[in-house]
Amino acid sequence: MSDLPNLPPAETREIDTPHGPARVHVRLAPEARGTLVLGHGAGGGVDAPDLRAAARAALAAGVSAVLTEQPYRVAGRRAPAPAGQLDTAWLAIVAELTGPLVFGGRSSGARVACRCAAEGKAVGVFCLAFPVHPPGKPEKHRMAEIDGVEVPVLVVQGARDPFGMLESTDTRTVVVVEGDHSLRKANAEIERVLPEFLDRLLA
């Protein structure tokens, strides 16, 4: 979707990846200090309200916002591609963008951002509803993905998220909001905390 409510029109284009074309929706901030690249959830798209809120917050902070659609979504499939394919496609996308780059996304997109942060040379990572583990299966956690990120990380997590909760660390700030994995009530908090995070990264 190239035009989203409460956002300026985007420049939409396709980027070739080893797994088919991806699609990016680019909104440039005047004299941008950097670019926030956002990925969607496993079964969702770039029109998710929390992704829209993040894009608005970035633009208000003088940071360009790029909403990305993975090749499987561009091809019309809802079932996500394997993690390796998602990561390869993401790295092909960010290679076409100008930095400094902050990686981000919601749920599955947050996992991709974390896994690719080092190779993609991100200066920070922004996670919306990071899925710590499948619902009801805390033993199958994915903590290594986010614990392995060496740049600053900001996480916005619902207090009742069935996919689990994270704790803040020396390099990771976790902001807990009302609600669950959908983050339906988180827009105002996203638009409050994300500009502060971007300011610290891109000052």
Q: For the segment 91-149, what is each residue's pLDDT rounded down to a tens digit?
A: 999 999 988 999 999 999 999 999 999 999 999 999 999 999 999 999 999 999 999 99
Sign of the dihedral defined by the CA atoms of residues 112, 180, 52, 14, in that order: positive
Contacts of 41 (CB under 8 A, 6+ apart): 48, 105, 106, 107, 108, 109, 129
pLDDT at 5: 53
What is the CATH class of 11-196?
Answer: alpha beta
Whether the per-residue pLDDT at 4 is higher than 60: the answer is no
Which tens digit of pLDDT belongs to each residue from 32-76? 999 999 999 998 899 999 999 999 999 999 999 999 999 999 999
Instruction: Give me the residue spans of the domains in the chain.
Output: 11-196
Q: Name which of 6-10, 50-54, 95-99, 193-197 the model is least confident about.
A: 6-10
Nearest to 114 by CA among 143, 85, 157, 80: 143
Cα–Cα distances (Å) from 131 to 11, 59, 114, 148, 192, in that order, read 30, 26, 12, 15, 22
* pTM of the model as a whole: 0.94
pLDDT at 43: 85
Which tens digit of pLDDT belongs to each residue from 152-163? 999 999 999 999
Instruction: Determine if residue 107 is left, alpha or beta; phi over 0 gives left, psi from -120 to 50 gives alpha, anything else beta.
Output: left
Whether the per-residue pLDDT at 175 is higher than 70: the answer is yes
Nearest to 68 by CA among 129, 113, 128, 114: 113
How do 11-17 and 20-27 pair as beta strands? antiparallel
Q: Name which of 18-22, 31-35, 77-81 the model is least confident about.
A: 77-81
Contacts of 17 (CB under 8 A, 6+ apart): 71, 88, 89, 92, 93
- The secondary structure element, H or E, covering residue 73 is helix 71-74
